[in-house]
Amino acid sequence: MANDIIDSDGFRANVGIVLMRRDGTVFLGRRTGGKGWQFPQGGIREGESLEQALYRELREETGLAQDDVEILGRTAQWLRYRLPPRYIRRNRLPLCVGQKQYWFLLRLAREPVTFDFTSTGEEPEFDEWRWTDFWEPARAVIYFKRKVYQRALVELAPTAFPAGQPALPAWWGTLARASAGRSGTGDGA
């Protein structure tokens, strides 16, 4: 989080990456040590543009470079989530209470690709990965990020599937309600 931007409300500026293959499946990485599944994402540093942060995070977390992907779309505005109180690091200043994210939809420029999770120079973000259907990450991610994942995927789906997006799964409508009830934090938007 060094040099990451945290706004006056305590939200860390961040980019999220939905990496898609031509068949419509998306990349889902398992956080190192079995700490759950998520999309690549990371903080925007002072002086970085959204695109610079996107390509840096893509390289650090997956080992892919700018020429390995093409940008198909981006969310229109920041999507926010609050951290549950037990995840807030109160010993760090400025205090970060959650994240605000622009989500990018990327498509692989060619296949197959080789992922390299050691590009970060620190502990890798991911230790496993899989391709999954477009909607599954909203269910697989930790509960307090589910509503943001749903919002990002719904917004990006028409771009991902211009001929018609896949139907929402039966579990979709109950997911955010169950997550909000568990965390009691809402999405902070």
Residue 176's pLDDT is 58
CA torsion, points 32, 189, 12, 102, in degrees to nearest 10? Answer: 70
- pTM for this one? 0.92
Dist CA 101 CA 14 (whole Å): 5
Q: What value does the mean pLDDT take over residues 139-148?
A: 96
Residue 39's pLDDT is 98
Classify domain 11-183 at the CATH class level: alpha beta
Residue 121's pLDDT is 72
Q: What value does the mean pLDDT take over residues 52-62?
A: 97
**Bond into 112 cis (ω within 30):** yes
Is 121 in contact with 35 (CB distance < 8 Å)? no
Residue 185's pLDDT is 43
Dist CA 126 CA 105 (whole Å): 19
Q: Is the pLDDT of residue 128 over 90?
A: yes
Is 15 in contact with 61 (CB distance < 8 Å)? no
Q: Is the pLDDT of residue 137 over 50?
A: yes
**Average pLDDT score over the chain:** 92
Q: What value does the mean pLDDT take over residues 144-163?
A: 97
Q: Is the pLDDT of residue 126 over 60?
A: yes
Q: Give the residue, 128 or 175, on which the prediction is more confident.
A: 128
Q: Is the pLDDT of residue 184 over 70?
A: no
Q: What value does the mean pLDDT take over residues 150-168?
A: 97
Least confident of 31-45, 114-128, 155-169: 114-128
At 186, phi and psi to the nearest 5?
70, -165
Q: Is the pLDDT of residue 95 over 50?
A: yes
Residue 85's pLDDT is 94
Dist CA 29 CA 126 (whole Å): 6
